[in-house]
Amino acid sequence: MAATARTLTSGPGWQVADVICTAGAADRPFEEAHQDFCVAAVTSGTFLYRAQQGTAMLAPGAILLGNAGTCYECGHDHGSGDRCLSLHFAPACLEQIVAAVPGARRLTFGTPCLPPLPALAPLLAGAEAARETGDIGALEEFSLRIAGCAVAAASGAALVRRAPSRRDQKRVAEAVRRIELDSDRPISLAELAGETATSPYHFLRTFRQVAGMTPYQFLLRTRLNKAAVRLHTSDDAILSIALEAGFNDLSTFNRRFRKVMGETPGDYRGRRRAGR
C-alpha cells in the first residue's frame, strides 16, 4: 500500500504522525498490527477499516480506534487516498489518560471507530491547523485532548467537569509562575507535568480548567506580552525582541503577534512613536 507516515512530535510513551495513503480500489488491502493504542483522526478521504472490534467505513471527522497488539486491515473499496493525524500511545500512557477521564474504566476500545462528533470538531480543526503550520506545542496539547475525548466517548463516560482541588490549584499556580519566569526558553508539557507529579493529560486538563487556557496558550500569551512591552519601551530590533522572547524566527512572531494584537509588531511600535 502506498502509505507514508511522518512523525510530527513525540514524547515518553506517545507519538503523533501524519499518515498519507494514495492507494485505490485496485490495490490490495493493507494488513498490519497495532504496536500501541491508536487514535487516528481522518482529515481527508475515506477508507474501510477492519479490526477485532468490527468493520467501519471512515470519513473525515471520524476517529479510528486501535487496540495494542491487535491486527487490522485497511482498504479503499470506494475511493482513492486518505490522510490521518495518527496518535499512538503506549499502554502505560493511555492508562494515565483513562485514569484522568471521569467515569472511564476500560483501557481497550470496544468499537473500531467513533463517528464525527460535535464535541471533537473544534479539537480536530485545531490539530489539523497545528499540523499545517508546524505548531508543535499546540499539536501536542490538541492530541492529548482528542485522546481524552475519544476515551470518554468510546467508554460511554460523560464529559463532566470536576471542581479543581486546592492541591490542583496550587500546582497550576506554581506552573504559571514557572512559565512566567522561563517563558523565553522551550518548556514542554511533559516537563511541567513532571514537576507537579501528574500525567501530562491530567495536568493539561487541570491547567485549562483553572487558568482558562492551556499551558501552551499561556506560554505564548506571556511571550507576546513581554515582546509588546519591549516594543513600547525600547528601540531594539524587532528580530532581537522576538528571539529574546522565545520565538524561533521572525515570521512566526509576526504571525502570532498580529493574530493576538490585531496588527504587526512594526505597526504596534509605530503607533507608540506617534503618541497614539
Q: Is the pTM of this model over 0.85?
A: no
Assess whether 103 and 70 both reside in one domain: yes
pLDDT number for residue 275: 59
pLDDT number for residue 159: 54
Q: Which of 41, 32, 46, 37 minimizes the C-alpha distance to 15? A: 37
CATH of the domain at 112: 2.60.120.10
Assess whether 191 and 61 both reside in one domain: no
Q: What is the mean pLDDT of each run of 10 residues along the chain (276 residues)?
A: 87 94 85 94 91 90 94 85 94 92 85 88 91 92 93 74 78 90 92 91 90 91 91 92 94 91 89 64
Assess whether 143 and 9 both reside in one domain: yes
CATH of the domain at 186: 1.10.10.60
Assess whether 14 and 148 both reside in one domain: yes
Assess whether 165 and 197 both reside in one domain: yes
Render the chain in DSSP notation, one character per residue. --EEEEEEEEETTEEEEEEEE---TTSPPEEEE-SSEEEEEEEEE-EEEEETTEEEEE-TT-EEEE-TT-EEEEE-TTSS-EEEEEEEE-HHHHHHHHHHSTT---SS-SSSEE---TTTHHHHHHHHHHHHHT-HHHHHHHHHHHHHHHHHHHHT-----PPPPHHHHHHHHHHHHHHHHSTTS---HHHHHHHTTS-HHHHHHHHHHHHSS-HHHHHHHHHHHHHHHHHHH----HHHHHHHHT-S-HHHHHHHHHHHHSS-HHHHHHHHHTT-
Can you give the residue range of the structural domain that contains 188?
161-276
pLDDT number for residue 157: 62
pLDDT digits (tens, 9 = 90+) for 216-272: 999 999 999 899 989 988 999 999 999 999 999 999 999 999 988 889 999 988 876
Assess whether 181 and 118 both reside in one domain: no
**Domain end among 155, 177, 200:** 155
Assess whether 44 and 146 both reside in one domain: yes
Assess whether 33 and 145 both reside in one domain: yes
pLDDT number for residue 158: 56
**Domain end among 155, 177, 211:** 155
Assess whether 151 and 83 both reside in one domain: yes
Number of domains present in the structure of the chain: 2
Assess whether 243 and 140 both reside in one domain: no
Assess whether 192 and 243 both reside in one domain: yes
Look at strands 3-11 and 63-66 and give their pairing. unpaired
pLDDT number for residue 96: 92
Assess whether 118 and 176 both reside in one domain: no
**Domain end among 155, 172, 196:** 155
